[in-house]
Amino acid sequence: MTTIERLTSKFGEAIAAVINILDPDAIVIGGGVGNIEALYQPATRTAIQRHLFNPECRTELLRPRLGDSAGVFGAALLTR
């Protein structure tokens, strides 16, 4: 198993736990992790689906609109 396959498998397992508990409409994958293209591929969706209670996953995985800088923008807004 390659590193990327392990990443998508464990990521899918972790995100499925969040989806099972909170049932969000969308999850924004922030920070540097949000830049990993493999997390938005069908293999990750399959890994998530394997661990869900619900037979259908409608939760969207989204990239942060501000990229890696989202935390910096948030911190700057707090100082206003």
| CATH at residue 21 | 3.30.420.40
Residue with tokens 């990521």: 11
From first to last of its 80 residues, what are the pLDDT tens digits of the chain?
A: 699 899 999 999 999 999 999 999 999 998 888 888 999 999 999 999 999 998 888 999 998 888 888 788 888 999 87
Helix (H) or strand (E) holding 46: helix 42-50
DSSP of 65-77: TTGGGHHHHHHHH
Q: Domain residues for 23?
A: 3-78
Cα(34)–Cα(52) distance, integer angstroms: 22
**Dihedral sign of CA atoms 64, 41, 13, 9 in order:** negative
Number of domains in the chain: 1
pLDDT at 56: 84
Residues in the chain: 80
pTM (2 d.p.): 0.79
pLDDT at 31: 81
